[in-house]
Structure 1
Amino acid sequence: MTDAPQAGEEGQTAPTETSATSATSATSATAETSATSETPATSVTSATAESSESSATNETNETNETAETSPTSGPAEPSATSAPIGVTLEKGRQTITSAVRVDLTRDFATLPLYKGKAAGETVWYVITDVSDLTIAMELGVNHAPKLSKAGINCPACVQEVTTDDPILGRAPVEFQGGPDFSPARTLVPGPTNFPAASFTPGAIARAGYSSFVRIDSDPITGTPVVYNAPIIATGDGPFDVTTHTNTHDRALGMDTDAMTADLLFVRGFANGQSILYLSFDSSDAFTATVERSTFVPALTDLGFANGGGNPESARTSIFTFVNAQVGLEEAPPERGASQGPGRSQGLTHALSLDIVGRDAAVANADVLEALRTGADVSNIFDVFPTNERAEDRAEYSPAWDLHVGVYSDAAVEAGSNGLQTDANTVRSLADEGVVTSPGGLPLGSANVVINCPALAFLEEAPLGPREPALGG
């Protein structure tokens, strides 16, 4: 049992920094975000949160007992480096109901942790989404029906895992591949902040790895059942949750006794409301770096670009900006950044802040505080699991199709490049010519996929509806 974050093995060599070309920068973006809170809500005290966490963790232990005892490549060393407890989000606002708790002080969610193997190595994973509604309700994760399309024309986008139980996590699991967390994440802003001068993703997919996994197909319909099950740590511990040499760059705590993981979330927007979401992977190296996520290039071929609104696509639309206003919210509330004065978003905004290249860790309190108060890019989801219309809920997928917006010179000069919180509004601005893709092209997919599961809403539930403009 360790009481403090432990460093990883020495002698691991990070890849050479990648020079950020203008082409890559123009089509690369991020889903790190900050959110809004206008209606006051009662905060759970630390004592209450601790009691709640203990009860929920006991349930998690029972659920994951089988996974915890799966075979390993050697004797496992128990490790507990949980993040401190702060203000707790109300349980009823979570879409991933299996989350033990959501912390609004250091912006992390405590999720059930599962154990598996990949190429003979012990791996640790979480489950956030599944394409089957019954399984989603049973596991307390998001229902994402579009995930069933993830393997179409892209075999590498979904890895087939081996297990003796049709429900993922109930029996030992063998993955085809896992991620390499050993590279050192680097990000150096450019002369105008964005594009970056150089960057190196902090984690890279090994052969065969994807967070989207399949056990089998539905026995009645024959439709593949696909889970979102990102691997967030490798090895038998101790786990480095400071420089992340064997953990995901968003892992703030790992407890293999309680079988929980504390994962840094992102504050974003959907349908004009503030949301919280997790970020695990990107198909683009720059996006993975600024997202603090795993670079999974195979996801570039996930079907298909501009697939928002199309039930045959595994992707759903998400929006960010290159040249929105910059700056942190002037007086964020106790629950974190909202839509208050000074709140900004976008790539230039994120790269203008000095924490952008530093590790997210409990030990780096100023980094977590900056992210909590608006240092992220603040992307916009097109839909959310709480939407009122069934067709909008069915549109939800953690596989987001990134749209990178550029405000017109006139909009920037007029100061009309402020905070946006609704995808419908972004599409309307695009119809008016106020927002385009880089190079003046019509706003559309940058063909960058980011794996960002919905976690919760901060105050009011996003209800929709999705209103595509000019055919989507």
Structure 2
Amino acid sequence: MKIITTKTVSMALLGVLVTACDGKDGRDGVDGADGMDAPVMMDTGSGYDGSAAEAAGLAPLAGGRTAEDIAVATLANSNALTGVASGTPLNIPTAGSDFATAPPSVGADVPVTYFGPAPSSVNPNLIGPYQLLKAGNLDLAASPNTTITLPLYEGRLESGGTNDGASLWYVVTDTSDKENAAALGLNFSAKLRFTDLPDGMLSQTVRRGYYDADGLLVFASGAVDFTPERVVSPGSSDSSGTNNLLASLTFAPGAVGSAGDSDDGLYSPLVQISNAGGHIYNAPMVSFNTSAEQLAPYCDGISAEEEASARALLHDKVVAICPGAAGEPGSVTLALTNGFSFGRPVLYISTDASAEIAASLEGAIYTPALAAIPVGRDDSLFSGVERIFGFTNGPTNDFDEVNPQRQGFNSAIRGEGGPLNVLGGIPTIATDYSPLWDLNLGEWTQAAVDLGYRSRMTEEFAILGMAERGFITGPGGSAYGSTGIIINCPIVHRLL
């Protein structure tokens, strides 16, 4: 019996790599930097003619006999994807399919049904899919966007202003109350405690509220106008080099929250509930000053004919809304956004943003009050935010095919899919989660584009490394860091 040592295998693999780089058939060495010949595979044989590959229907490989033996064995024994030529993109039918995770059976000798459950089913901190916002029902098969259906809550405004007494409808996604988060299936965020500014300060970021004897949440301030028509109109489609399509964008948010100088007071998705331990809840509004009768027609969804009238009443993320009848609970179905967190694909909801351009792009409520939350502090003491990373000029689709490296606002503005932003810490991966994301907007430099370094980024520290090396800057070559824009994006699901 012939024993193959680790050293033998390593030299064999090295030989395959070297001869493949040389572009020859494995019979000749190449000169190294020190003038010595690179290792040569001993079993290629000077007379090897590629017959094994030819017999298997493969083209001769540059790695010689060893490389071809491996390829032939793989073809014979594996159920890996077939019919895909090397270097040829798969036919990806829809934008967003480039985001889907591959099954573990790819390249294996057994189908996916023979694989055990994901490790995340045993421990949520391990790899695998895991629903983080458990308060709702997730629909990963929904099209064109995945959705989550959450409990719909009714509230009342008690502002003393123009809309005093108005009914309102909201969802709850996050809280600073750890025990109640676990009980209700919400996301827990300790950082929400640091978003509140004391009464009497010039700017406020958190509304006040209390629940009454009927369990109705009464808000002390905040109205939202859902009647504006959302506008996102690009002035250019040229995404080459460092071009930034955001610079020529015409935009208008589809919903606007009241500011602090309104007679109804400020709107914020954040509310401190006085008789619930003073905890802060993330309670974005989905409809304002509407009755159950006005919402009932959209219980089964919004048709194309109803789109315009529905959008004048509802948040742009609403896919269906049903207030319930005869004591039945209400529900609302919201469209989700694709992104990444530390290399893992995730889904989140975009509900509010502190800047008009961000609210327009995200289909969120323009919420001026969020701009008062301090940014740039990331995970330091008293920081209420976590970072989200976006790109102006990431890779776009070319040649009428979905580019598996596609990412960024240029791509989104061109209608190729979402921007695939990268989130910082989320529950089960990190301890610093906040639904309030401090936007760090990056631009790939021309040098990075020319050198081929521009690619899809999925992990915070890889992005920071590229910024440190000067391949990513702020827009227009400015310093990299916070844009000052806050986006309320509660995390929903982790796909891996």
- Indicate the TM-score class for this superposition, using the shorter chain for normalisation: 0.5 to 0.7
Would you say the 8 A contact 1:320–1:404 is kept in 2?
Answer: yes
In 2, distance between residues paired with 1:329 and 1:306? 39
Structure 1 stretch 273-282 or stretch 96-105: which is displaced more?
A: 96-105
Alignment partner of 2:323 out of 253, 256, 261: 256
The alpha-carbon deviation at position 341 of structure 1 amounts to 4.8
The reply to whether residue 194 of structure 1 matches residue 261 of structure 2 is: no
> What pairs with 1:129-168 in structure 2 (closer than 5 Å)?
129-152=174-197, 156-164=204-212
What is the 5 A alignment of 1:93-108? Answer: 93-106=130-143, 107-108=146-147
Choose the corresponding residue for 2:372, options 301, 321, 325: 301
Aligned to 1:382: 424
Alignment of 1:20-419 (within 5 A): 35-39=99-103, 93-106=130-143, 107-118=146-157, 119-152=164-197, 156-164=204-212, 171-175=215-219, 176-191=221-236, 192=238, 193-206=245-258, 207-216=265-274, 224-234=278-288, 235-236=290-291, 237-239=293-295, 241=302, 242-243=307-308, 244-257=311-324, 258-302=329-373, 304-327=374-397, 341-353=403-415, 375-387=417-429, 392-393=430-431, 395-419=432-456
CA distance in structure 1 between the partners assigned to 2:480 and 2:423 by the alignment? 15
Cα-to-partner distance string for 1:347-404 (whole Å, 9 max, x where unaligned): 1111112xxxxxxxxxxxxxxxxxxxx60011101111111xxxx32x1000000000
Structure 1: segments with no counterpart, 5+ residues:
1-31, 44-90, 332-339, 354-373, 461-472
Q: Distance in 2 between matches of 1:341 and 1:286?
A: 26
- The one-letter amino acid of 1:424's match is F
SS of match in other structure, 1:96: coil
**Kindly tell me: are residues 328 and 33 of structure 1, through their superposed partners in 2, closer, same or farther at Cα, counting changes over 3 Å?**
farther
Q: Relative to structure 1, is the Cα distance of residues 311 and 38 closer, same or farther in structure 2, using a 3 angstrom cutoff?
A: farther
Q: Which residue of 1 aligns with 2:484?
A: 447
Q: Deviations over 1:217-238 (max 9, x none)?
A: 885xxxx411000010120143
CA deviation after TM superposition for structure 1 residue 203, in Å: 0.2
Give CA-to-partner distance per residue, 1:161-207, whole Å, 9 cap, x none: 13137xxxx71112221211010111110124432431110000024
Change in CA separation of 1:149 and 1:101 when aligned onto 2, cut-off 3 Å:
same
What's the CA shift for 1:441?
2.9
- What do residues 389-443 of structure 1 show as CA deviations (whole Å, max 9, x unaligned)? xxx32x1000000000011111112332211100110011111111111232331
Deviation of 1:152 (Å): 2.6
2:399 and 2:216 map into 1 onto residues whose CA distance is 46
Higher-RCO chain (CA-CA 8 Å, sequence separation at least 6): 1
Amino acid at match of 2:204: A
> Any stretches of 5+ residues in structure 2 without a counterpart?
1-95, 106-110, 113-127, 158-163, 239-244, 259-264
- Give the partner amino acid of 2:336: F
Contact 1:307–1:401 (CA<8 Å) still a contact in 2? Answer: no
Q: Is the 8 A contact 1:402 1:445 kept in 2?
A: yes
Q: Tell me, what secondary structure is at the counterpart of 1:318?
A: strand
**Structure 2 CA distance for aligned equivalents of residues 323 and 296 of structure 1:** 26
Q: 1:301 to 1:141 in 2, by over 3 A?
A: same
**Identity score, percent:** 28
Q: Conserved in 1, the CA contact under 8 Å of 2:437 and 2:486?
A: yes
Q: Give RMSD over aligned pairs.
A: 2.7
Given that 2:176 and 2:190 are in contact with CA atoms closer than 8 Å, whether structure 1 keeps it comes out as yes
Q: In structure 1, how many angstroms separate the alpha carbons of the residues matched to 2:399 and 2:379?
A: 33
Is the 2:197–2:206 Cα contact (8 Å) retained in structure 1?
Answer: no
Residue identity opposite 1:313 in structure 2: S
Specify the alignment match of 2:11 in structure 1: none
Match of 2:37 in 1: none
> What is the CA–CA distance in structure 2 between the aligned matches of 1:276 and 1:163, rounded to whole Å?
31
Structure 1 CA distance for aligned equivalents of residues 399 and 181 of structure 2: 36
**Count of residues paired in the alignment:** 339
Distance 1:449 1:329 in 2: 35
Q: How much has 1:33 moved relative to structure 2?
A: 12
CA offsets per residue over residues 40-76 of structure 1, 9 Å max, x none?
A: 5999xxxxxxxxxxxxxxxxxxxxxxxxxxxxxxxxx
Query: Structure 2: which amino acid aligns with 1:201?
Result: P
What is the alpha-carbon distance in structure 1 between the residues aligned to residue 150 and residue 235 of structure 2?
A: 36
Change (3 A) 1:129 1:34: farther
> What is the distance in 1 between the residues matched to 2:396 and 2:142?
23
Change (3 A) 1:328 1:260: farther
Q: Give the deviation of 1:329 after TM superposition.
A: 12
Cα gap change, 1:300/1:280 in structure 2, threshold over 3 Å: closer, same or farther?
Answer: same
In our comparison, the structure showing a higher alpha carbon Rg is 2
Q: What is the rounded CA distance, in whole Å, between the counterparts of 2:171 and 2:249 in structure 1?
A: 33
